[in-house]
Amino acid sequence: MFDYKLLSALAAVVEQAGFERAAQVLGLSQSAISQRIKLLEARVGQPVLVRATPPAPTEIGRRLLNHVQQVRLLERDLQSLVPALDEEGLPERLRIALNADSLATWWAAALGDFCARQHVLLDLVVEDQTVGLKRMRAGEVAACVCASERPVAGARSVLLGAMRYRALASPAFIARYFPDGVRADQLAHTPALVFGPDDFLQHRYLASLGVEGGFEHHLCPSSEGFIRLAEAGLGWGLVPELQVREQLAQGTLVNLLADKPIDVPLYWHHWRNGGQLLGALTEQLIRSSRQWLVPWAPS
Amino acid sequence: MFDYKLLSALAAVVEQAGFERAAQVLGLSQSAISQRIKLLEARVGQPVLVRATPPAPTEIGRRLLNHVQQVRLLERDLQSLVPALDEEGLPERLRIALNADSLATWWAAALGDFCARQHVLLDLVVEDQTVGLKRMRAGEVAACVCASERPVAGARSVLLGAMRYRALASPAFIARYFPDGVRADQLAHTPALVFGPDDFLQHRYLASLGVEGGFEHHLCPSSEGFIRLAEAGLGWGLVPELQVREQLAQGTLVNLLADKPIDVPLYWHHWRNGGQLLGALTEQLIRSSRQWLVPWAPS
């Protein structure tokens, strides 16, 4: 069998983003961690880590991490029978990538008391819904919420539903840029809000209105900040309906064009051999997420 | 003088996080961008970029970027006189690092109509308030909001005020973990919420209560997600008072211990030679941020 002392050291260095913190978490010296990584590399016959800040796994390092995560989840199923087997004695952690808008809206409520019941701690990683799968493929997370259906090797995906986005702006923004009424073809000439370089929702929305090409935009990688910027009149943007019920009711944000929402499907991807814990979490999410998400019919 | 065609290529590759997007933004082919970077490296005599995904500047690359940002801000002051000088014809962008909690609360409102008035677009970078200065030092941002007073070389810092945080949890969380009343010494044995590996606010709070050492925690790198997790009863956490007025009024979140807030000072750091634009933004922030921040007396 593999030497899991070495693999745990690798996992700790990547998860804790450094040798020092990995040493703290595992209760070892930094040089002990370094030696374990070197020994692992000697056995594997190639580097498992790129020594950058933070250290990043190599291709083979990622495959090893992926394996460690799956083994940990399987171990958990045994631990209730034989708790003494867990040498590290750390509480179980589940690393999950999800889009900021889910985290800002339905995610926590959908979990209910799952974490307390199962005594599990979450390491949440915020990733745009189009790139969360990269983290799955890299073996960095056990599960992710993302907009693509197609699972990576060794994983399953299940449709949870869709988030509904509306194009909104503040009344002051509309008064400044569209004194004579909002016109779709002029939308590209007013500042937009874009979450980050991987967010093409506004591009797709404009394209659906027949507007192609680039447009001026602020970059704001925060769901809540996005709404604050829209309310302050810095730009227009596509915002989850779930997140702005109050703003729409109070009129601090208003629909830009006639009622034209855009829906983004959300799939739950999880390791196939993820053990009972991931299975239970998957059931919990399927059951409860529909309260917040709208139905989605794959085209 | 330097060849700014080469430096613009470097800045675009780093700002756009890739050669392809840099080429799009500058209206050049990808190979033209590559050639410019190579030529720059030949002149400098060493690499300016680490060819990773995304590409990262080397030490010397960072210094060059820093210089480009300052030159751009100075150019802006001239552009109102001689607009034809700007060859790229791109709208002005200001890259600013700030903590997620500021972005989720007072930041946009404090800007007012600054961006529209000055026709400037923002590239916001979310960084924990303790590490935003790294971005300044690296020349990646023109300004940042952070908790340290001491400016980096070539920059100035000014105190804006402090954010007040309160230790909160949901009534269900308190009922589950503290049926007999909240005790500070037991707080470390209930799950906490921590923003990310650089967030030590909960650690400091526990230390101020006389509780040392580690504690169980979820990691949630999203301000809004943090509140959602707290409301859903996953953990207790320190939350900006500004962000939870409604939750406190409705009782979905309650103070954990007797009224014991913790204040975090926020300083505005900006390049000294940042031109009129940064100067005007600095004045705007000093004038308006005090509406949301509490006074802070440096110790």
Residues of B with CB under 8 A from a CB of A: 16-17, 21, 52, 91, 100, 103-105, 107-109, 111-113, 115-116, 121-126, 172, 176, 191, 197, 216-225, 228-229, 231-234, 243
Q: Say yes or no: B149 and B20 in one domain.
A: no
Ranges under pLDDT 70 in chain A? 1, 76-91, 129-130, 299
pLDDT, residue A82, reads 58
Residue A243 to residue B122: CA distance in whole angstroms: 23
pLDDT, residue A101, reads 93
Q: Mind listing the pLDDT tens digit for each residue in B120-174?
A: 889 898 887 667 788 888 777 889 999 999 998 889 999 999 999 999 999 999 9
pLDDT, residue B66, reads 75
Q: Mean pLDDT over all residues of chain B?
A: 86
CATH (domain of A217): 3.40.190.10
pLDDT, residue B10, reads 92
Q: Say yes or no: B200 and B60 in one domain.
A: no
> Residues with Cβ < 8 Å from A138, sequence gap 6 or more?
A57, A62, A65, A66
Q: How many CB pairs under 8 A join A and B?
A: 133
Q: Say yes or no: B96 and B17 in one domain.
A: no
Comparing B18 with B254, the larger pLDDT belongs to: B254
Based on its alpha-carbon atoms, the radius of gyration of chain A, rounded to whole angstroms, reads 22
State how far residue A223 is from chain B, nearest Cα, in angstroms: 7
Q: Say yes or no: B248 and B112 in one domain.
A: yes
Residue A151 to residue A54: CA distance in whole angstroms: 28
pLDDT, residue B186, reads 86
pLDDT above 70 for B88? no
Residue A198 DSSP code: T
pLDDT, residue B22, reads 87
Closest CA to A261 of A219, A214, A211, A201: A201
Q: Say yes or no: B54 and B200 in one domain.
A: no
pLDDT above 70 for B84? no
Q: Say yes or no: B54 and B107 in one domain.
A: no
Confidence of residue B83 (pLDDT cuts 50, 70, 90): low
Residue A156 to residue A274: CA distance in whole angstroms: 10
Q: Indicate the pairing of strand A49-50 with strand A92-98.
A: unpaired
State how far residue A21 is from chain B, nearest Cα, in angstroms: 9
A151-154 long-range Cβ contacts below 8 angstroms, 24+ apart: A151/A269, A152/A269, A154/A66, A154/A70, A154/A271, A154/A272, A154/A273
Last residue of a domain, one of B90, B106, B140: B90
Q: Looking at the partner chain, which of B100, B109, B243 has a beta carbon nearest the beta carbon of A232?
A: B109
Q: Say yes or no: B143 and B291 in one domain.
A: yes
State how far residue B1 is from chain A, nearest Cα, in angstroms: 31
> What pairs with residue A236 in β-bridges?
A192
> What pairs with residue B157 in β-bridges?
B269
Is A37 contained in some domain?
Answer: yes
CATH (domain of B203): 3.40.190.290
Q: Say yes or no: B122 and B257 in one domain.
A: yes
CATH (domain of B45): 1.10.10.10
Is A200 contained in some domain?
Answer: yes
Torsion of CA B36, B38, B39, B44, to 10 degrees: 120
- Residue B171, sorted as left (phi over 0), alpha (psi -120 to 50) or beta, turns out to be alpha
Instruction: Note whether A176 contacts B116, CB cutoff 8 Å.
Output: yes
Give the residue numbers spanning the domain of B199.
92-299
Is A131 contained in some domain?
Answer: no
Confidence of residue B38 (pLDDT cuts 50, 70, 90): very high
pLDDT, residue A91, reads 57
Q: Mind listing the pLDDT tens digit for each residue in A52-100?
A: 877 888 888 887 887 777 777 777 666 565 555 555 555 577 889 999 9
Q: Say yes or no: B283 and B181 in one domain.
A: yes
Is A257 contained in some domain?
Answer: yes
List alpha helices for A145-244, DSSP H.
171-177, 184-187, 201-208, 223-231
Q: Looking at the partner chain, which of A108, A219, A224 has a beta carbon nearest the beta carbon of B223?
A: A224
Q: Are A110 and A292 in contact (CB under 8 A)?
A: yes
What is the DSSP annotation of chain B? ---HHHHHHHHHHHHTTSHHHHHHHHT--HHHHHHHHHHHHHHHTS-SEE-SSS-EE-HHHHHHHHHHHHHHHHHHHHHTT-GGG-SS-PPEEEEEEE-HHHHHTTHHHHHTTHHHHHTEEEEEEE--TTTHHHHHHTT--SEEEES--PPPTTEEEEEEEEEEEEEEE-HHHHHHH-TT---HHHHTTS-EEESSTT--HHHHHHHHTT--S---EEE---HHHHHHHHHTTS-BEEEEGGG-HHHHHHTSSEESSSS--EEEEEEEEEETT-HHHHHHHHHHHHHHHTTTSBP----
> ipTM more than 0.85?
no
Q: Say yes or no: B135 and B4 in one domain.
A: no
As a whole number, mean pLDDT of residues B20-24 equals 86
Most confidently modeled range among A79-83, A115-119, B204-208, B241-245 = B241-245
Q: Are B106 and B240 in contact (CB under 8 A)?
A: no
Q: Which amino acid is at B84?
A: A
Q: Say yes or no: B222 and B294 in one domain.
A: yes
Instruction: Note whether A116 contacts B224, CB cutoff 8 Å.
Output: no
Tell me how many domains chain A contains.
2
pLDDT, residue A111, reads 93
Q: Which amino acid is at A246?
A: E
pLDDT, residue B293, reads 97
Comparing A169 with B57, the larger pLDDT belongs to: A169
Q: Are B121 and B95 in contact (CB under 8 A)?
A: no
Confidence of residue B292 (pLDDT cuts 50, 70, 90): very high
Is A250 contained in some domain?
Answer: yes
Q: Say yes or no: B194 and B231 in one domain.
A: yes
Residue A294 DSSP code: B
